[in-house]
Structure 1
């Protein structure tokens, strides 16, 4: 399962006084999230508003998802590009930067049995819930994934911090540039250029979130020409300035990133390396 997923992760959150909290999910790979208790009110990039549903599906994203939620339990399933190729059944570019209620979406119908089976009888049973998730994907993991070797080669090149251009990415993957473009569109959701830009941004953001004492200037990735370029990327990916983001509380993501770093070796899903990952599940 490891090459297909970032993590299977469970989050348990208690908001005092029946209140809610608001936070922002960073750009990431595709995710299916299942809720027991409070249900989220979410939107991606100011559109694709979803509220009051027991499951949400996010395609590969290059924009932040704002969400507000109260006390809840949530299981999250992060699909890597190879996992998208194995389980999604349609080009990733068709679901890029989309946030959906998966239940009425025809393209996501294969996930309905999973959504309906994870939580049973309203009781929290983490081990049993995880077992049902694993059983669902194990039953569907049959046959070979077309383009498997190329997807993995492109992904490995994308994760390399020294790679800063599409030409370098293609060279490291040992593939023609036009093949890299095709693989990225179908299985990663975006062009190689945008994916590299997202990686550069997420390396910077994760550095800051793990150690705010660095300040933004100390966290900016070396591929940025100057701070102004980073600020432009921040507006592009998060929909706000670095100053505005830093001024907001991050009651969910701050804890999740620390837990992901400890459990999976990467604080954010976009930087997740399946070859270096730790455990396959983490509790926050």
Structure 2
């Protein structure tokens, strides 16, 4: 792919410590959870990049999971459904997104967090996903900053150590709450969005012996969006990952065939990211690429196209 005009300037200012892509841009340390957490947790992820003091990264994110993140060593702003706000050195709960959420980070990018499987937020907290779509809440629901773990979440430790501490946090919470696993229909719908986001919703409902109305209620509760929007978003996120250089390039033709024609590509992509694919590609998207890369790693693993922990197609040759 042709390099974005500002990529070189970003590389000069950023020193990635949690992974490097083929284009030299920072990535995250992300992986599937251990088996005992996997019914509720989709991904454990940490990002660490030391930047020039005062340097500002203007970008954003678009999540297909509910994430809890502890952000530190940087000053952040976001434009959520509740308006513009500033954040720093705190635990934040991010809802799933119906569209791109603008973000900025001044200084170092350092965060540790985890994404919940569809329906897990409901079984863990009793709250439906549509409560927090496009929103950020300031609350440490899961106890990331418990006294005996607080000291791990600082720049003296590595992303791998942060991820291990997050696992301990989650084990404690699940042992205390003893939740049911999420609805298997929601898990199946999440997998369908990975595998073929053009498939018929009627066919999916029939395959799982439920009505369209019940599918709509479950998806609204566990994803926060309508079934059709979840599928449309999946197509847009896959294309965004491709344009950011954090997708398997061998899937490019398959991803493009999901759209009727070029005007359909432009219209659908712009509805989620606010710009055409061409304008999107013209600027580096380092923060968005971090979240899109996590999704693609999870997607390829869950579709069994790669083995967990294996070399990802978008990593630099000497990175694992």
TM norm structure 1: 0.78
Partner of 1:224: 259
Task: Provide structure 2 residue ranges, at least 5 long, that are not aligned to the other structure.
Answer: 1-36, 313-318
Q: Distance in 1 between matches of 2:274 and 2:103?
A: 14
**Which ranges of structure 1 fall in alignment gaps of 5 or more residues?**
104-108, 267-271
Name whichever structure is richer in helix by fraction. 1
After the TM superposition, list the runs of 4 or more consecutive aligned residues in structure 1 that deviate by more than 6 angstroms: 274-277
Secondary structure of the structure 1 residue equivalent to 2:119: helix
State which of 230, 246, 251 in structure 2 corresponds to 1:195.
230
Q: Is 2:141 aligned against 1:110?
A: yes
What is the rounded CA distance, in whole Å, between the counterparts of 2:256 and 2:59 in structure 1?
Answer: 24
RMSD: 3.4
Which residue is 2:44 aligned to?
8
Given the superposition, is the C-alpha separation of residues 194 and 259 from structure 1 closer, same or farther in structure 2, using an over 3 Å criterion? closer
Residue 117 of structure 2 corresponds to residue 87 of structure 1:
no
Q: Which residue of 2 aligns with 1:78?
A: 115
Q: Shift in Å at residue 208 of structure 1?
A: 2.8
Aligned with residue 171 of structure 1, among 193, 206, 226: 206
Helix, strand or coil at the partner of 2:216:
helix
Paired residue for 1:134, among 163, 167, 179? 167
Q: 1:238 aligns with which of 254, 273, 278?
A: 273
| Distance in 1 separating the partners of 2:246 and 2:193 | 24
Q: How many residues align?
A: 266
Per-residue deviation, 1:61: 0.8
Retained in 1: the 8 A contact 2:244–2:285?
no
- Aligned pair in 2 of structure 1 residues 125, 162: CA closer, same or farther (>3 Å)? closer
SS in 2 for 1:198: helix
Contact 2:198 2:258 in 1 (8 A): no
What SS class does the counterpart of residue 14 from structure 1 fall into?
strand
Cα distance, 1:186–1:176 mapped onto 2, change above 3 Å: same
